[in-house]
Structure 1
Amino acid sequence: MRAAFKREQTARKEAEAANQAKSAFLAVMSHEIRTPLNGVLGMAEALADSGLREDQQEILDTITDSGNLLLTIVDDILDLSKVEAGKLELETLPSNVNEIFMSLCQQYRPRIEAKGLSFTTVLSGLMVKGEVWAKLDPTRLRQVLGNLLSNALKFTAEGAVSFSVSAAHLGEETILLDFNIRDTGTGIHEKQHGKLFNPFTQAQASVNRRHGGTGLGLVVAQQICKEMGGGIEFTSAEGEGSEFHVSLVLEAAEPPKQTAQEENDWSRAVLADRRWRVLAAEDNLTNQLVLRHLLKEFDLDLTIVSDGAELFDLWQAEGADLILMDVNMPVMDGVTATCKIREVESQEERQPVPIIAISANAMLHQVQGYMANGMSDHVAKPTRKADLFPAIARLLCDTHDRLPCKGATT
């Protein structure tokens, strides 16, 4: 009995060690794939601003869509490791449900109709009376619904796809959201229903060859819904299509004082207010080029160096209004460089310079580690203007007076 118990303990420890090793490997692979993707998607965004012909824009859109698809696959694999470790990360933000729904409709309608399918969208309940705001993770909700819409498109050769949303009050502070995605596709045989939410599994052996996909999307989507206080249900029969139902019980939210467009205008006004001295550390030459193109519309005094040691020396000699810091670099990494800067600031009683971590390491515990080591904010790679500009503007406003729209984001 004692020997059997000891063997069981040993087997459990070996399994836990193997799982930790797998999670570490997936995190490293995510970083390594995200880094070149930053070059692909960053340069695509820069090229989109260069005034392309219609045929050139179509080519660029294809490149962007393919890059985003690869990013989705990378995220699915990383998310699975988080699900298995019980560390799936969600943030809760006041979110416009109407806007999320309409943006998904706009994203998928051209693809669905290009396949010769009809696409029906329906708003009901509170959704038709005005904007519905709830506290949720908008990125994760888009991930769930996008996965279901992608599957409906993938498995429907003819007929239709419908997408509907309904909202209702369950109380003064609580909202029930119901999303339905229905298709007239191949459907799922009853014998395969139990496999649908298993990782790396698809309902039919031929699915991967015919349609592609990792078989991870529904696993992650199910866990996201559970974390947000809801779940996914489905009905389907072989040859009769499928219907997926996402139900979420959420806390109601008030809309923010500033719209996304107002924040975008404000961010640009702050960056254009003066010739800011910006230092950046980035060892990848392609990502250096991406950063220059992202910021080229502003007259910045921008210097980019290849490692944290070089940036630290430059900051000591010339100072800076703001620093953009890669994390994984040779010679001196971004965290070490940040710690050295904060140490000097403390010793010499200098005002802390804002430091934004720009890294493909985007897991919650990694970002928390950057903040604990003195960084001011984090922007994940692939880097997008919509994420980078507001982060820079907020930090500049925190350290300088008399800026445009001071306090507009509070």
Structure 2
Amino acid sequence: MPPAAGTLSSDLMEVIAARRAQARMRAGLAIGLTLGFGAITGWTWALVWLALYGGLQAVEYFLLDRRTPPTWAALALLMTNGVVFGAFAAAGPLRDGVFGLACWICLLCGGQLNSALTSQKSRLAFLAASSPFAVYLATIPFVALWLGAKIHQAIALAAAAVLIIVFTHMIWRAAARALTAESEARARAEAADAAKSAFVAMVSHELRTPISAILAGAAEARGARSEGARDSNLELIASSGRMMRALLDDLLDLSKIEAGRMGVETIAFDLRRLMLETVRFWAPVARGRGLTFRLEGAHSLPAWVAGDPTRVRQILNNLLSNALKFTEVGAVTLRMVAAPAADGTWNIALEVADTGAGMTAEQMGGLFTAYGQGSDSVARTHGGTGLGLNISRELARLMGGDLTASSAPGQGSTFRLALGLAAAQAPIQTPVIATAQTGLRVLIVDDHEINRRAFTLILQGAVDTIATAQDGQEALDTLALERFDLVLMDLNMPRMGGLEAVGILRATPGPNQRTPVIALTASAGRAEVHLCLAAGMNAFVMKPVEAAELFHAIEAVLDADPAVAAVA
């Protein structure tokens, strides 16, 4: 698509404005040319030309200081400069023959090159500035014939003139493209910086909200006069903690995606059960907002498939959360379509449709980009970082599928998750006979005192004895002296980290060589899990730790067989 007229004029004016800053340089160049070529052209003509060209530069300098010329005047200004500049050495052939002609050609080549390098921003400016030099070069063969050159010599000069004109245009094109690419790269970098700055400010706001609630809840709980008031404040603290964890999970997922370290797993899972649990979770939320929550096509789903149930649930939760958030009246529909493929897999389509306000084409264009939301008012009204849809689409594509959207203002929005999942068999359930755990001794290893106190609060009343250590070396010293039933081990600690400590523990005979160890990690990616298991740990729990998840992991390593514990 050709540039708009306004853009062409704007680019031309940028070149004209830049010329004013170069006026002194051009005046100095004119003096140098007068001194260098004066003996060839004749001093009288050289001084006349210097006065004419210098006066033109002075007029241009003071004129551009007061007003911006119209387009026709700007083009005329550039052409006049070219005509006057190129005319200087035209007297050379008249006074000094062939040598004077060579000097004129050199001057014209320099003028052509200068027009290409000073007009990169505008094609109009380049054509206006270089046209006089092209006309002068076209007369060179005829001047040579007038001086007595032979026809083949004139033809050679004509070919050289054409090459000079063509090469000058090529130089201008290359310089203009480089300038355009640089400008676009700078604009993209500035836009990315602005978006990330806005994102950082948004994250700061999103973190301050739950932190303020936690501080307020803690202060109120300390002075609460009734058990009900204290419980209410404690629930506020817990809700704020879950809000912060969700935010940190999004940031961690985004960093993994950008670093190319995000992975998905493939395990057998009950798709129908996953959908049922999702519906049970979100149906009360819909009712609380006065919305209808519809379910369509559940009968078409296969029972057991192979894929990543955690990531499927994450995408669905994000889509349903957004649909309920942005729908004031009407309904949210979860539509499920499944069809068997020829290769034995299932083509699954999960659609979340709402009756909300819908989106414009501009909003749709930035819907799946990171560091952004549909508008600033979205962040102010509904909160959030705007990462959910970007992460969801990346997860869908990592699983071999895709996430798409369709919407129009006033017509609601529909998000469609398409996945290809292999059929799977239900795993054989091995009954596990639970045994009561009494008199448990647990060692908590973490370099942060707040974490040690938090885990102690969680475990109080559930275990008999709790000991703590602040790094891997201190933990090994304690484990060499006392027998423990379980170790909760942080991974990143000063002096000695958890992986190194567990490696030494498993390799050294002692009372706790085979004691189960649960890793406490801020990242439960596939690589981190493999490192934990390879070091000899039995399970892992992701920080921030929820009590239910911690107790589930403890039950897994204490009650199940080693094979089950290793993947808990």
* TM-score normalized by the length of structure 1: 0.73
Match of 1:328 in 2: 492
One-letter amino acid of the structure 1 residue matched with residue 294 of structure 2: T
Q: State percent identity of aligned pairs.
A: 37
- Given the alignment of the two structures, is residue 287 of structure 1 paired with residue 437 of structure 2, yes or no? no
Match of 1:174 in 2: 345
Structure 2 stretches of 5 or more lacking a match?
1-177, 190-195
- Given the alignment of the two structures, is residue 392 of structure 1 paired with residue 554 of structure 2, yes or no? yes
User: Which has the larger share of helix?
Assistant: 2
Tell me, in whole angstroms, the C-alpha distance in 1 between the residues paired with 2:366 and 2:265: 29
Compute the displacement of 1:221 (Å).
Answer: 0.6
Tell me, in whole angstroms, the C-alpha distance in 2 between the residues paired with 1:296 and 1:171: 55
Compute the displacement of 1:153 (Å).
Answer: 1.6
Deviations 1:199-225 (A, max 9, x none): 112233432223222221111111111
- Given the alignment of the two structures, is residue 193 of structure 1 paired with residue 361 of structure 2, yes or no? no
Tell me, in whole angstroms, the C-alpha distance in 1 between the residues paired with 2:412 and 2:228: 36
* TM-score normalized by the length of structure 2: 0.55
Compute the displacement of 1:235 (Å).
Answer: 1.4
Q: 1:219 aligns with which of 366, 390, 394?
A: 390
Equivalent runs, 1:70-149 vs 2, <5 Å: 70-127=244-301, 132-149=303-320
Match of 1:18 in 2: none
Q: 1:383 aligns with which of 545, 560, 564?
A: 545
Mapped contact 2:479–2:511 kept (Cα < 8 A): no
Structure with larger Rg: 2
Task: Give the secondary structure class of the aligned counterpart of 1:206.
Answer: helix
Mapped contact 1:235–1:244 kept (Cα < 8 A): yes
Mapped contact 2:505–2:513 kept (Cα < 8 A): no
Mapped contact 2:505–2:512 kept (Cα < 8 A): no
Equivalent runs, 1:247-286 vs 2, <5 Å: 247-258=418-429, 269-270=434-435, 272-286=436-450
One-letter amino acid of the structure 1 residue matched with residue 247 of structure 2: I
Tell me, in whole angstroms, the C-alpha distance in 2 between the residues paired with 1:173 and 1:389: 39
Tell me, in whole angstroms, the C-alpha distance in 1 between the residues paired with 2:231 and 2:428: 35
Task: Tell me: CA distance 1:367–1:295, structure 2 relative to 1, closer, same or farther (3 Å).
Answer: same
Equivalent runs, 1:225-374 vs 2, <5 Å: 225-258=396-429, 269-270=434-435, 272-296=436-460, 298-345=462-509, 351-374=513-536
Please, which moves more after superposition, 273-282 or 159-168? Answer: 273-282
One-letter amino acid of the structure 1 residue matched with residue 373 of structure 2: Q
Please, which moves more after superposition, 306-315 or 276-285? Answer: 276-285
Deviations 1:97-154 (A, max 9, x none): 2222222222222222222222222343434xxx712112222111111111111122
Q: 1:184 aligns with which of 355, 362, 374?
A: 355
Tell me, in whole angstroms, the C-alpha distance in 1 between the residues paired with 2:426 and 2:231: 35
Tell me, in whole angstroms, the C-alpha distance in 2 between the residues paired with 1:93 and 1:247: 18
Structure 1 stretches of 5 or more lacking a match?
16-21, 401-405
Match of 1:19 in 2: none
Task: Tell me: CA distance 1:281–1:247, structure 2 relative to 1, closer, same or farther (3 Å).
Answer: same
Mapped contact 1:124–1:167 kept (Cα < 8 A): no
Please tell me the root mean square deviation across aligned C-alpha atoms, in Å.
3.9
Tell me, in whole angstroms, the C-alpha distance in 1 between the residues paired with 2:512 and 2:445: 21
Give the count of matched residue pairs: 356
Task: Tell me: CA distance 1:196–1:350, structure 2 relative to 1, closer, same or farther (3 Å).
Answer: closer
Please, which moves more after superposition, 213-222 or 98-107? Answer: 98-107
Equivalent runs, 1:396-407 vs 2, <5 Å: 396=558
Compute the displacement of 1:301 (Å).
Answer: 3.9
One-letter amino acid of the structure 2 residue matched with residue 94 of structure 1: A
Mapped contact 2:483–2:512 kept (Cα < 8 A): no
Mapped contact 2:479–2:512 kept (Cα < 8 A): no
Task: Tell me: CA distance 1:383–1:255, structure 2 relative to 1, closer, same or farther (3 Å).
Answer: farther
Match of 2:323 in 1: 152
User: Which has the larger share of strand?
Assistant: 1
Mapped contact 1:356–1:376 kept (Cα < 8 A): yes
Tell me, in whole angstroms, the C-alpha distance in 2 between the residues paired with 1:169 and 1:373: 42
Task: Tell me: CA distance 1:385–1:62, structure 2 relative to 1, closer, same or farther (3 Å).
Answer: closer
Tell me, in whole angstroms, the C-alpha distance in 1 between the residues paired with 2:512 and 2:366: 59
Task: Give the secondary structure class of the aligned counterpart of 1:103.
Answer: helix
Tell me, in whole angstroms, the C-alpha distance in 1 between the residues paired with 2:349 and 2:523: 33
Please, which moves more after superposition, 382-391 or 234-243? Answer: 382-391
Q: Which has the higher contact order (CA 8 A, sep 6+)?
A: 1
Tell me, in whole angstroms, the C-alpha distance in 1 between the residues paired with 2:451 and 2:496: 18
Mapped contact 1:126–1:132 kept (Cα < 8 A): no
Tell me, in whole angstroms, the C-alpha distance in 1 between the residues paired with 2:265 and 2:321: 24
